[in-house]
Amino acid sequence: MKIPTDQSEDPDQERLDELGRKIEAARGPTTKSTPAQSGSIRIAYRLASELLAGLLVGVLLGWGFDNLFETRPWGILFFLILGLAAAMTNVIRTAQRLNAAVPDTKDDKNDD
């Protein structure tokens, strides 16, 4: 049995290359996301994670407080509300920072 020494003699490799070309042709042109789209998604995930983190910390602190002082359900309710307030504050602050970082595209000549 002869072992192929380079790729041009390997019929399986030629078939794989041909199959790869057919797959690429069938897929057609690929559309890549624009930086604006990926940036928007990144911002949305960041704001959602800020909100979720605040709520989670509030619930965990409330649960610990309830277990420590046996005050169920008041600790969870209090710290849930406190966590929600902290989360909303963080989301608003982050959104304001991100908004300030975006350059203003309005034309100042139209303000007269």
d(CA 47, CA 54): 11
d(CA 68, CA 55): 20
Cβ atoms 19, 12 nearer than 8 A: no
Structure tokens at 105: 């595209």
| Position with higher pLDDT, 112 vs 36 | 36
Q: Is 76 buried (19+), middle (13-18) or exposed (0-12) by CB count in 10 A?
A: buried
pLDDT at 88: 96
pLDDT at 28: 79
Cβ atoms 80, 43 nearer than 8 A: no
Q: What is the mean pLDDT of residues 84-91?
A: 96
pLDDT at 51: 95
pLDDT at 62: 96
- Reported as a single tens digit per residue, the pLDDT across 6-42 is 555 688 899 999 999 998 888 877 766 666 677 889 9
d(CA 105, CA 97): 17
pLDDT at 91: 94
Structure tokens at 41: 């998604």
- Reported as a single tens digit per residue, the pLDDT across 59-86 is 999 999 999 999 999 999 999 999 999 9
